[in-house]
Amino acid sequence: MHRRLFLKGLGLIGVASSIAAPKIALADGMLDPMNSNLTGSLFYTMEAPGRWAGKEAGHVPMIERSGNMIEVTTGHEMDGYTHYIIKHILLDENLEFVAETMFDPQTDAPISTYDISGMDTALYMVSLCNKHDAWLNRLAL
Ligand SMILES: [Fe+2]
């Protein structure tokens, strides 16, 4: 049997084209990433640790500002490639990528620094664990 006829018989033709790719509106009506329906499910915060409740302290990236520099620290172990922080990602107030720091779990601590000159309202940091997913924090400027 031809594939098209088989699909037609099942009533499936046209179904795939009618399934829209999920989109998240982040323009003017940008949702608050610290308190959205994705917080605690797709990524996690101190207030919304989701399925990783109890692991907040070791995963939320902590941000300290000194002038135009920030230092970001994740209080997480670096147990070789078994369990470690893969990277930090700096996003601007519109969640646009600005910079990232990759970590070598055999030699690095999960600490990164960034020059935030030109950023004037807020920034977001993501810390990515190889076992416990992505954790978000925000710094108002
Ligand atoms: Fe972890």
The 10s digit of each residue's pLDDT in 77-123 is 999 999 999 999 999 999 999 999 999 999 999 999 999 999 989 99
* 102 vs 25: CA distance, rounded Å: 28
Nearest to 109 by CA among 136, 82, 135, 74: 74
**Better-scored residue on pLDDT, 14 or 105:** 105
Given this model, what pLDDT does residue 131 score? 98
Distance from the CA of 31 to the center of ligand 1, in angstroms? 27
Distance from the CA of 45 to the center of ligand 1, in angstroms? 13
* 128 vs 125: CA distance, rounded Å: 10
Distance from the CA of 77 to the center of ligand 1, in angstroms? 8
Q: Report the Cα 54 to chain-centroid distance in Å.
A: 18
| Residue 136 backbone zone (phi > 0: left; psi -120 to 50: alpha; other: beta) | beta
How does DSSP classify residue 52?
G
Three-state SS at 125: strand
Distance spanning both ends of the chain, measured CA to CA: 64
Distance from the CA of 22 to the center of ligand 1, in angstroms? 28
Q: What is the pTM of this model?
A: 0.80
CA distances (Å), 59 to each of 9, 17, 72, 85, 116, in order?
A: 50, 39, 12, 8, 22
Taking all residues of the chain, what is their mean pLDDT, rounded to a whole number?
A: 86
Residues 38, 24: contact at Cβ < 8 Å? yes
Given this model, what pLDDT does residue 28 score? 59
Please give the domain boundaries of the chain with CATH numbers for all domains. Answer: 23-140 (2.60.40.730)
Distance from the CA of 121 to the center of ligand 1, in angstroms? 30
